[in-house]
Amino acid sequence: MTNISCEVRNLGQRFNHFYLFRELSFQISMGEIWMIKGNNGTGKSTLLKILSGGMEPGNGEVLFFGDDKKIDSHLIWKQISMVAPYQELPEELSLNELIDFQILMSSRKIERKEFDRLISLFGMGKDAAKPTEQYSTGMKQKAKIILALGENRPILFLDEPTSNLDPESFDRFWEMVKEMKNEKLVITASNDEKELQNGKLILELGKDTI
């Protein structure tokens, strides 16, 4: 198993003349669920987008390593899965169709049986063939989780991942992630104290970053 780590060097981002954060530096690796805390508007989602390569930082850099060997920044997206509230699902498609499409388009060899296991685990079996437009917000969140975890990529970004989940699914999700922490680099952004209790705090935006 490759040990994935991430090094953040003097990272900063601003909008106009207002800095969301600046001079962020930290190093993390597998073995913990890493938490980024912050109130709404402090830049949690922006920071995750930068870390995942979805947004360019204003300053600084983000480096990923596999067994201490630098991973090409243009290839890191192939290693990343993400769950976030701003992700949209094509509502005319069912969860089964989205899974089949993801398997077809993946650059990695993945198997349907892992997705089926997650469907069963989150109680989505009777709904997996329905168009996602018929899903409640909680069901849509479960679908995002199933799509992200099913591909089993080694880097997992979680932005308020259990929003709208029922208590049973909340507990089941965090039990799963805790089992994965030695095999994945897991980074979570949240302002929910119950979520934050499941990992180790890296920093608090709006407090550590002013």
Residue indicated by tokens 């962020």: 24
Decide if 90 is inside a domain: yes
Here the CATH number for the domain that contains residue 137 is 3.40.50.300
Distance, CA of 83 to CA of 122 (rounded, Å): 15
Q: Quick check: is 209 in a domain?
A: no
How many separate domains does the chain show? 1
Q: Tell me if 44 is assigned to some domain.
A: yes
The reported pTM is 0.93
**Would 61 be classed as within a structural domain?**
yes
Q: Using CA atoms, how far apart are residues 62 and 73, in angstroms rounded to an integer? A: 9
75 assigned to some structural domain: yes
Residue 23 falls within a domain, yes or no?
Answer: yes
Cα–Cα distance measured from residue 132 to residue 89, given in angstroms and rounded to the nearest whole number: 7
Minimal CA–CA distance to 88: which of 137, 128, 160? 137
Domain-embedded: residue 162 = yes
The tens-digit pLDDT sequence of the chain (210 residues) is 789 999 999 999 988 888 889 999 999 999 999 999 999 888 999 999 999 998 999 999 999 999 989 999 888 998 999 999 889 999 999 999 999 999 998 877 888 999 999 999 999 999 999 999 999 999 999 999 999 999 889 999 999 999 999 999 999 999 999 999 999 999 999 999 999 999 999 999 987 554
Are 146 and 176 spatial neighbours (Cβ–Cβ below 8 Å)? no
Q: Which domain holds residue 79?
A: 4-204
On whether residue 210 sits in a domain, the answer given is no
